[in-house]
C-alpha cells in the first residue's frame, strides 16, 4: 500500500527557505501515470495547490508562488522535495504531499485527482 511521509523543520525564520521532503513507500516515484506534489493549508483556512513534479523533473507551479517555489524529485531515493524561499508569516501552514494521477486524451493531459496524501507537516514561520 502506497504511503507518503513529509519531513522537515517545523520552524523557519522569516526571509529564510522552507524545505520539506516527501518519502514514498510501498511504491515508486518512477511511474508514467503520476505527478507528485505539494498542497498547503494555513490555520483555519482552505487548501492551496503549490505545485507538482513528474519523475522526469518537469514541474508545474501555482503562479501565485512560482517565483519562490522549487519542487524536485530524487528517483534513487523515491523522494520529492519542496523549497519555498523568502518565507513570511503568511507561509505558516500545514504542508501536505500527495500523488496526482494523470489521464492522457485528445493530445493533452488531464488529472483524476490527489488520491494518496501524506499526514501533513506543520510549518511555522517565526523569528
Which one of residues 34, 36, 61, 80 is an interface residue with other proteins (CB under 8 A)?
A: 61
Question: Per CB under 8 A, which of residues 108..127 are in contact with other proteins?
Answer: 110-120
d(C-alpha 67, C-alpha 77), whole Å: 27
104 belongs to the binding site for other proteins (CB under 8 A): no
24 belongs to the binding site for other proteins (CB under 8 A): no
Which one of residues 36, 52, 81, 93 is an interface residue with other proteins (CB under 8 A)?
A: 52
Which one of residues 1, 10, 43, 63 is an interface residue with other proteins (CB under 8 A)?
A: 63
17 contacts 9 by C-beta, under 8 angstroms: no
Nearer to other proteins, 51 or 79 (CB): 51
Question: Per CB under 8 A, which of residues 27..46 are in contact with other proteins?
Answer: 46
**Termini Cα distance of the chain:** 39
Cα distances (Å, whole numbers) of residue 61 to 23, 77, 89, 106: 20, 23, 21, 23
Q: In the structure grid, which three cell numbers stand for residue 113, read together?
A: 485527482
Amino acid at each position: 500500500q502506497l504511503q507518503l511521509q513529509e519531513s522537515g523543520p517545523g520552524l523557519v525564520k522569516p526571509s529564510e527557505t522552507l524545505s520539506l521532503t516527501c518519502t514514498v513507500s510501498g511504491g515508486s516515484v518512477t511511474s508514467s501515470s503520476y505527478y507528485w506534489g505539494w498542497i498547503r493549508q494555513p490555520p483555519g483556512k482552505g487548501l492551496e495547490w503549490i505545485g507538482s513534479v513528474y519523475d522526469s523533473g518537469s514541474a508545474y507551479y501555482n503562479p501565485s508562488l512560482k517565483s519562490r517555489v522549487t519542487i524536485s524529485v530524487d528517483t534513487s531515493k523515491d523522494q520529492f522535495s519542496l523549497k519555498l524561499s523568502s518565507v513570511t508569516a503568511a507561509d505558516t501552514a500545514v504542508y501536505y504531499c500527495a500523488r496526482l494521477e494523470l489521464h492522457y486524451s485528445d493530445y493533452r493531459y488531464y488529472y483524476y485527482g490527489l488520491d494518496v496524501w501524506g499526514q501533513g507537516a506543520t510549518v511555522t514561520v517565526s523569528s
